Chain A
Amino acid sequence: MIWIVTLTVLILFLLASMTVGAAMGNLGFVLTKVFSTLPFHRAMGEVIWHVSSDYNLFAIPLYIMLGQLLVKSGIAQRTYRAMDKWLSWLPGGLLHANIASSAIFAATSGSSVATAATMGTISFPECRRFGYNEGFFAASIAAGGTLGILIPPSINLIVYGFLTNTSIPKLFLAGIVPGVLLAILFMVIIFMVCVINPSIGSDSTKATMAERLASIKDLIPIFMVFIVVLGSIYTGLATPTESAALGVLVSTAITAYYGKLNWKTFVEATEGTVKTTGMIMLILFAAYFLNFIFLSLGVTRQITDFIDALGFSASNTLFAIICMYIILGIFIETLSMMALTIPVVHPIIVSLGYDPIWFGVVMILLVEMALITPPVGLNLYVTQGVRGKGSIRDIILWIIPFVMAIALMIVLLVKFPALALMLT
C-alpha cells in the first residue's frame, strides 16, 4: 500500500517538473505525515549535516574543478591531434581518434556532457574538412562522451558508492577494464561500418613515425594527471578525495604551463564547479533524507519482501531490474534516476547474492545507455548542439550500433563478472 502511494506521488511530482530534490524531500514529508505517528522528519538537520560533511563526497567538487581546469588549459585539442596522428590510418580515420581521445579525456574528467561537448567542439571542423558522414561522426562523439562516467574518476560512481556504502576506490578500479573494453568495442564497430560502407568515413591519412613520436609530448600532461589521479588510488597512496586534490594541483600546474591560468579561468572554473556541486548535493540531501524515511517506515523492506515473494530466479530479477533502468533512462535525467532508485534496488541486488561493486559498473553502463537513447539522451542533444546544423535524426539513426555495443557490454559483464572485479 505504502509503496503505491510513494510511486504515485513521486511520478506526479516529477511530471509536474518539480525540482527533483524538492520532489524527493516533499515525498519524505508526505510519507511521514500519512504513514507514521513518529516525527521521523525531525532527523532532517542531522541527515543533511551528515551528508554535507561526508569526507568521501568532497571528491566530487574536486574532480569537477580538475575537469574544468583541464578543459580551459586546451589539453583536449592537443590530445585529439596526437590521437589523430596515431589512429587515422585505420578505416574510419578520425572516428577512431574521437573515441580514443574521449576515452583519454574521460580518464581525467568525471562528466559525460563535458567530455562530449569538448570533443565535439574540437572535432567537427575536421569532420567537415574531410567530408565524413556527419551523423555517424556525431554519434561516435556522443557515444565516446559516455565513457566519461565509466572510466574513473567518475562522479556517478562516487554517488553510487556513497548511497550504497560501497568502497569508492574499488568501484573506480572496477570501471577500468569495462571502460577500456567498451572503447575498443566502439572502435570495432566504427571499423566494421567503414569497411562495409567506405563512404561513411573518409580517406585515411597517414602520419609519419616522426610526427607520431613528436605528438607524444602533447600526451604527457594528460598522462601525468592520469597517473597522479588513478595511480595514487591504485597504489593505496591516497584516498579518492586526496587523489582528486592532487589532481586539482597538477591540472592547475598544466593550465599555468600552457599560459591559460588567470583570474578569468579561475572564476569560470569555480563557477562551473560550484553550480554542478549544488545541483548534485541538493539531490543527494533529498535522496538521503528520503532513504532515511523509507528505512524508518520499512518501505525498502516491503519492496524487497515483495520481490522475494514473486519467487523469480536471481537472473530473472536482475533482467527485470536492467529492463526497468532502460525504460526509466528514457524519461528521467540520469543522476536523479540513480539517486531515486539505488537505495531501493541495492538491497534487492545484495539479497540476490550479486556483488554490489559489480552492479555499480552495470548501473553506470545503463546510465551511459540512457545518455544516448532518445528522447532525453542528453549526449545526443549536446553533440547536435555542437554540430549546429542538420537534423538530430541523423545522429539517432547512427547511434543504434553504439547502443548495441553498450548492451553487449552489459551482457558480457553479466556473463563474466570478473571483467569488473579482476582489478578490485
Chain B
Amino acid sequence: MGFVKSLEKVSHCSVIVCGFLLMGMSVFIALEVVLRKFFSVSTKGADELSAYTFAIICAWSLSYTLIKKGHIRIDFLYSKLSFQVQRLLDIISFIALAVFVSPMTYYTFKTLNTSITRLSRANTPLQTPMWIPQVLWFSGILFFFIVVIVFTVVLLKMAWNRQFQDIADFAGCTVLDEEIKEESGIDIKKIQGLRGDKK
C-alpha cells in the first residue's frame, strides 16, 4: 500500500500545481481583456496558452478524480445488489477502465510522437512547437494509466485474499456525504453531529 500512498501524494502535488496554473492563467487572461479593451493591443497568445494550460489540467485531473472516487458510475442497479456482487462489479469496473485507458495512453503517445518526429508547430502567432505542451499533457495521461493499473492490481490482490471490506472502501461507489463534501465543501456528517449534540 506504500506505493499507492506515494501515487496519491504525487497526484495531490499535481493538484496544487493545477491550482496555481488556474490562478496564473486567470490573471493573464484578465490582462489580455483589459489590454484589448482599453489599449487595443493583444498579447496574441492568451487563447493558445489557455488551451495548453487546460490540456495539462485535464490530463492531470483524471488521476486525482480516480483517487477521490469521483468518476461517475451509474449505481441504479448496483445499489440494489448484494455486498459480494457489488465487489465483483467494483473489480470489473476497474478492469474496464484499464481496458479503456491502455489504448488511450498508447494513442495519445502516438500523437505526441508524431509532433516530435515531424517537429509540428502550432498554426498561430506563437508557432509553439507542439511537443512542449503535449509532453506535459501526455505525462498526465501516463500517470493516470499508472494509477489505474496499480489500483487494478491492488484490487485483484485484495480479491485473492478475500478482503471484501477493503475492496468496498477502496473502489466502491461514492456515498452521498462524500459527494456533497467534494462539490460544495460542506461536511454533512459534521453538521449532523453538531445538531445531535444540541438535542
Interface residues of A (CB under 8 A from B): 13-23, 25-26, 29, 41-46, 48-49, 51-55, 57-58, 61-62, 65, 68, 71-72, 111, 113-114, 117-118, 121, 232, 237-238, 241-242, 245-246, 248-249, 252, 266-279, 281-283, 285-286, 331-333, 335-336, 375-376, 381-382, 385-386, 388
Contact of A273 among B19, B25, B100, B111 (CB under 8 A): B19
B139 at the interface (CB under 8 A from A): no
| B141 partner residues in chain A, CB cutoff 8 A | 48
List the 10 closest pairs (A to B, CB-CB), nearest first. Answer: A278-B65, A270-B19, A45-B111, A278-B61, A45-B107, A245-B29, A58-B54, A17-B78, A117-B184, A44-B107
Q: Are A282 and B65 in contact (CB under 8 A)?
A: yes
Would you call B72 and A20 a contact (CB within 8 A)? yes
| Inter-subunit contact A266/B19 (CB<8 Å) | yes
Chain B 107-118 interface 0/1 with A at a Cβ cutoff of 8 Å (1 = within)? 111111000000
Question: Are A52 and B104 in contact, with the CB atoms below 8 A?
Answer: no
**Chain A residues, Cβ within 8 Å of B72:** 19-21, 279, 283, 333, 335-336
A268 touches B185 (CB 8 A): yes
A337's nearest neighbour on chain B, judged by CB, is B74
Checking B16, B30, B96, B112 against A249 with a beta-carbon cut-off of 8 angstroms, the contacting residue is B30
Residue among A71, A274, A281 with the highest chain B CB neighbour number at 10 A: A274
Main secondary structure of the interface of A (DSSP, over half): helix
If A277-B57, A388-B188 touch, whether A282 touches B89 (CB-CB below 8 Å) is: no
Q: Which residue of B lies closest to A120 (CB)?
A: B186
Contact A277 B58 (CB under 8 A): yes
A-B contact pairs, 27 of them (CB 8 A): A14-B74, A16-B77, A18-B73, A19-B71, A19-B96, A19-B97, A20-B73, A22-B101, A26-B100, A44-B107, A45-B112, A49-B55, A49-B134, A53-B51, A55-B54, A65-B22, A114-B184, A118-B184, A249-B30, A270-B18, A270-B19, A274-B64, A275-B65, A279-B71, A282-B62, A385-B188, A388-B195
Tally inter-chain residue pairs, CB-CB below 8 A: 248
Residues of A within 8 A of B65 (CB): 274-279, 282
> Do B103 and A44 have beta carbons less than 8 Å apart?
yes
Evaluate whether A382 and B176 lie within 8 angstroms (CB atoms) in the complex, with A121-B186, A335-B72 already known. Answer: yes
In angstroms, Cα B75 to Cα A336, docked, is: 12
Q: A278 vs B183: C-alpha distance in the bound complex, in angstroms?
A: 13
Tell me if B66 counts as interface (CB < 8 A to partner A). Answer: yes
B residues 150-186 in Cβ contact with A at 8 Å: 173, 176-177, 179-180, 182-186
User: Of the candidates A62, A111, A277, A381, which one forms a contact with B183 in the assembled complex, judged by CB atoms under 8 Å apart?
Assistant: A111
Contacts of A65 in B (CB 8 A): 22
The interface residues of chain A lying within 8 Å CB-to-CB of B64 are: 271, 274-275, 278
Task: Indicate the member of B15, B18, B26, B62 with the most A CB atoms within 10 Å.
Answer: B26
The residues of B that contact A54 with a CB separation of less than 8 Å are: 51, 54
For residue B64, give the distance in angstroms from its CB to the closest CB of chain A: 5
Bound CA–CA A382/B179 (angstroms)? 9
**Which residues of chain B are near A272, meaning CB under 8 Å?**
182-185
CA distance A106 to B86 in the complex (A): 36
Taken together as a complex, chains A and B put the C-alpha atoms of A44 and B100 apart, in Å, by: 11
Smallest Cβ distance from B95 to chain A, in angstroms?
9
Residue contact B104 to A48, C-beta cutoff 8 Å: yes
A376, B183: Cβ atoms closer than 8 Å: no
Does A15 lie within 8 Å of B74, measured CB to CB? Answer: yes
| Interface flag for B145 (CB, 8 Å) | no
Using CB atoms and an 8 Å cutoff, list the residues of chain B in contact with chain A: 15-16, 18-19, 22-23, 25-27, 29-30, 32-33, 37, 47, 50-55, 57-66, 68, 70-78, 89, 92-93, 96-97, 99-101, 103-104, 107-112, 133-134, 137, 141, 173, 176-177, 179-180, 182-186, 188, 191-192, 195
Residues A385 and B58 in contact, CB atoms below 8 Å apart: no
Q: How far is the CA of A238 from the CA of B34 in the complex (A)?
A: 10
Most chain A CB within a 10 A radius of its CB, from B99, B112, B184, B186: B184
Question: B33 contacts A238, CB within 8 Å?
Answer: yes
For A62, A266, A385, the residue with the greatest tally of chain B CB atoms inside 10 Å of its CB is A385
Inter-chain contacts of B53 with A (CB < 8 A):
58
Whether A274 and B57, one on each chain, are in contact in the complex, defined by CB atoms closer than 8 angstroms, is yes
A271: chain B residues at CB < 8 Å are 15, 64, 68, 182
Query: How far apart are the CA atoms of A275 and B182 in the complex, in Å?
Result: 8
B18 to chain A, nearest CB (A): 5
Q: How far is the CA of A68 from the CA of B180 in the complex (A)?
A: 12
The reply to whether B96 and A62 contact each other, CB–CB distance below 8 Å, is no
Determine the distance from Cα of A53 to Cα of B15 in the docked complex, in whole angstroms.
18
Complex alpha-carbon distance, A336 and B104, angstroms:
20
* Chain A CB within 10 Å, residue with most, of B29, B59, B62, B108: B29
Contact A23 B29 (CB under 8 A): no
Quick one: which of A246, A279, A332 has the most chain B CB within 10 A? A279
Contacts of A48 in B (CB 8 A): 104, 107-108, 111, 141
Q: Closest Cβ of chain B: how far from A230's Cβ, in Å?
A: 15
